[in-house]
């Protein structure tokens, strides 16, 4: 599992154009896994309200797009890549595979 997981994350790092700075990809993988499991974080709605109160409509638009993106990620990947029939030992590799699909779609110029 470790080699396969490492290979997936290195591929994603290269797709993102930040190889060999793996920590940047690990940070995005963490965000992606949170989105798959829970969708948008609970604070994003608060941040939207605060930005609206400040009149910062550029930030409102950006936050709403992030919220929508995290909802789309959860809707697309949660059922098939998270909570896989009680096989917790397969959970991390399955989330990594979902992240690879996401990275190929978002970052691969050939896709």
> pLDDT tens for residues 26-79?
999 999 999 999 999 889 999 999 999 999 999 999 999 999 999 999 999 998
What is the pTM assigned to this prediction?
A: 0.86
Domain spans, the chain: 2-107
CA dist., res. 107 & res. 98, Å (int)? 14
CA dist., res. 102 & res. 32, Å (int)? 9
CA dist., res. 55 & res. 91, Å (int)? 42
């Amino acid at each position: 599992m470790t080699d396969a997981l490492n290979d997936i994350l290195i591929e994603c790092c290269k797709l993102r154009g930040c190889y060999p700075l793996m920590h940047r990809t690990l940070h995005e993988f963490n965000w992606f896994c949170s989105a798959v499991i829970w969708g948008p974080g609970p604070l994003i709605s608060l941040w939207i309200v605060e930005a609206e109160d400040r009149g910062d409509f550029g930030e409102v638009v950006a936050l709403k797009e992030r919220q929508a993106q995290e909802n789309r990620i959860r809707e697309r990947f949660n059922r098939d890549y998270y909570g896989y029939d009680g096989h917790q030992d397969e959970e991390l590799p399955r989330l990594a595979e979902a992240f690879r699909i996401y990275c190929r779609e978002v970052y691969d110029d050939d896709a």
